[in-house]
Structure 1
Amino acid sequence: MTEHHHSCDCGSGIDRRGFLRGCGAVFALAAASTPTVAAAEPESGDLHSLLDGLPTNWGRWGDDDERGALNFLGSRESFDGLQAAISGGSKHVERFTLQLSVTGDEATDPLFVGRFPARKDNTLDARFDGVEGSPIPLPGGLKYADDAFVTRFFLQGTTHFDALGHAWYGEHLYNGYHQSTTATPTTYPDAVTGLRDGDGDGSVESTPIDTTYGLGAADITAAAGSGVSGRGILLDVGRYEGDDNGRLPSDYGITLDDLLATADAQNVDIRKRDIVLIRTGSIERARDPEATYNPLQEPGLVFSEELVRWFHEMEIPVVGADNVALERAAQVIDGTVYFAPLHGALLRNLGMSLLEILDLRALGAACADDGVYEFLFTAAPLNVPGGTGGPTNPVILKSGRSDDERK
């Protein structure tokens, strides 16, 4: 494997079970533990200055648009995906899903500090069969089980889409919506019991809830309502640049050159309006009990003007990866530290949908085995009005190759 790193170090020694309250705490911890930052102590950057002069899609689809770059996906793009799926004929269509468990079945630790896996429990099952007052069996003898989540369920705690209003800088979200819309109240006629933060000590309290707050604009319902389908490609940078396990080093920053070189090595064309998935090997590291894993010290994309302009010129509607933030969490650019600058450049300015915490293990192995890195990508996030993100289980239909074709 080629040995070179693009280091934008961040985060180390974090208690994965700890709860950090607020992005400010996350940023402070990431910056303070960055070797480059600790030595030089650069100032926090200004995204307005960094991204000034770079392209935006504000107003491109009207002043009231909330779908962003998903507007690029039409009939032609869905057709291109269908063609990719059936290119090997009717006997060679494989199906993959990309979602990690939402209840932490594979590991009890959260992938990101504070966003712990949810827990569900049965509210009705065979234990209630014949019990006085039980609703089972029903007339005629039908029995059933039912369940509900019994802990907080973080919408971005597993494989998910970011809503376009999830992250911003200054006072405006994507397409110019004011930041005040992120705290839009909804009042319900009947209160239900739910969980609220306690006294600032990280605890939660059970309390009647009749008012909630959410995104009043650019929430996840735009993506949920339209859905996503098109030609997807996997850029397996982990296998191209990583170790024998196909994992990038923790301090690796993925550049535009890395993406293009990986596509060239895989012999896959990147076309306009493709849905681009990037494999780093982070999920394997997170699920490996013998490996050192830190959500703020993952490999990921790093900012450059060239990368942002390339995404814009290629009209990429969706980009996703198998890590927590798509990009390196803390990045030192020209001696100045920034936290997730590509969220500002891509999500806020270009209106691109970001997919995070994808499980690319099975898909990556299949692509490496048969050399086919294009497929039909389909997905839709959970429809949660006001949501800053939505869990999703993308379904991939990929053409394989016969044994004769692989020789």
Structure 2
Amino acid sequence: MPEAEFRSLYRRLREQALDGTDHGRGALGRLTPERVVAAAEVRCGRTVSLAAPIETRPGPDNPQPASHEMTAPAHREADAHGLRFALDRFAMNVHGDADSHLDALCHVMFDGELYGGVPASSVTPDGAGALTLDLVRDGIVGRGVLLDIPRLRGVPWLDPGDYVTADDLVAAETAQGVTVGAGDLLFVRVGHRRRRRSLGAWNAAQARAGLHPEAMHFLAERRVAVLGSDGNNDTAPSVVTEVPFPVHVLAMNAMGLHLMDYLDFEELVPACEQLGRWHFLCVVAPLRLPAATGSPVNPIAVL
């Protein structure tokens, strides 16, 4: 896709996003209380995490892994008489290529702006001043829908560099008997986690499966509230000249969609297959970091 064509798509999706349901929260404005109530259709009460375990060892896709250290008890202190506490400290590069995380709307700057025309200069070395993680301080709760593209194509995973089209998303709806609707939390499986576990980690920054930018028309038409994937959502190498992360730009900067990257659907898929049901109540609870651009996240599907 030439850059000029991408920019035309960007302008169209940005205009569509300004539909009066924003209320300062981007596409989350579509997640009304009525839609949250309607999403609470729980059948068997099973809960499934959609996050991968946080990794603390470096790898080809994780050169700066999270650090976890015990700060107490000291050596042999645990055996001492009386009360003692185990204490630890955690640090993380939130926007990496291995750990499950949520991107706040201030994460993507394009042509000097954030979503809604907010100046990118509102993000400073001291933190972000607008469209921060604070927008989701009360969590995200709604109807989650999983569209499984490798299942549709009859393969275990999409190879790095492959991409999901709008036609794929429509075909997956038909094959799975589900329809994506307004206010839904859309999850698109490309099989990244299964490939990683089967073949080992690789440099996902250079090569990965994701969505084609044109697929964002589908999300705009269905008026979804959130997009998540078991990959980065973006294909690498990028299909757009001079724009490395076109889906991030379109979803977050043009459409106001919060993204969740590098989730894990490998436990969710068999649960959905067993129930014959590809939608579920989903609860997302990021950390409360008011000026942050993102957070580690553990979405929970309630089936």
| TM-score, structure 2 normalization | 0.89
Q: Is the 8 A contact 1:272 1:316 kept in 2?
A: yes
1:116-265, aligned counterparts within 5 Å?
Answer: 116-125=64-73, 127-129=75-77, 141-149=82-90, 152-157=91-96, 158-183=99-124, 185=125, 213-223=126-136, 225-243=137-155, 246-265=156-175
Q: Is 1:287 matched with 2:246?
A: no
- Deviation string 1:306-337 (CA, Å, 9 cap, x unpaired) is x33332232200010001x212133335xx45
Q: Is the 8 A contact 1:55 1:309 kept in 2?
A: no
Give the corresponding residue for 2:50: 98
Q: Secondary structure at the match of 1:52?
A: helix
C-alpha spacing 1:61/1:110, structure 2 compared with 1 (3 Å) = farther
Quote the Cα distance in structure 2 between the aligned partners of 1:375 and 1:328: 27
Q: Is 1:327 matched with 2:286?
A: no
Quote the Cα distance in structure 2 between the aligned partners of 1:53 and 1:120: 44
Give the corresponding residue for 1:392: 297
Q: Is the 8 A contact 1:236 1:262 kept in 2?
A: yes
Give the corresponding residue for 2:10: 51
> Which of 357, 365, 372 is the aligned partner of 2:262?
357
Which stretches in structure 1 are left out of the alignment for 5+ residues?
A: 1-7, 9-42, 87-91, 186-212, 399-407
Aligned-CA RMSD value: 2.6
Q: Which has the higher helix share?
A: 2
Give the corresponding residue for 2:251: 346
C-alpha spacing 1:171/1:58, structure 2 compared with 1 (3 Å) = farther
Give the Å deviation of 1:60: 3.5
Max radius of gyration: which structure? 1
Q: Which segment is superposed worse, 121-130 or 365-374?
A: 121-130
Q: Is the 8 A contact 2:287 2:297 kept in 1?
A: yes
C-alpha spacing 1:260/1:45, structure 2 compared with 1 (3 Å) = same
C-alpha spacing 1:247/1:171, structure 2 compared with 1 (3 Å) = same
> Which of 280, 294, 300 is the aligned partner of 1:375?
280
Quote the Cα distance in structure 2 between the aligned partners of 1:94 and 1:369: 12
Matching residue's letter, 2:202 = Y
- Deviation string 1:232-260 (CA, Å, 9 cap, x unpaired) is 111011221142xx211223210011011
Quote the Cα distance in structure 2 between the aligned partners of 1:365 and 1:232: 16
Q: Is the 8 A contact 1:234 1:277 kept in 2?
A: yes
- Deviation string 1:42-87 (CA, Å, 9 cap, x unpaired) is x86685445233344358457x82x21111112222222211x23x
Matching residue's letter, 1:117 = P
Which stretches in structure 2 are left out of the alignment for 5+ residues?
A: none
C-alpha spacing 1:45/1:286, structure 2 compared with 1 (3 Å) = farther
Q: Is the 8 A contact 2:160 2:235 kept in 1?
A: no
Matching residue's letter, 2:236 = A
Q: Is the 8 A contact 1:238 1:281 kept in 2?
A: yes
Matching residue's letter, 1:326 = N
Q: Secondary structure at the match of 2:250?
A: helix
Q: Is 1:318 matched with 2:268?
A: no
Q: Is 1:109 matched with 2:54?
A: no
- Deviation string 1:106-160 (CA, Å, 9 cap, x unpaired) is x642635x5x3212111112735289xxxx76xxx322211113xx521224111
C-alpha spacing 1:53/1:396, structure 2 compared with 1 (3 Å) = closer
Q: Secondary structure at the match of 1:165?
A: helix
Give the corresponding residue for 1:75: 33
Q: Is the 8 A contact 1:48 1:169 kept in 2?
A: no
Q: Is the 8 A contact 2:161 2:237 kept in 1?
A: no
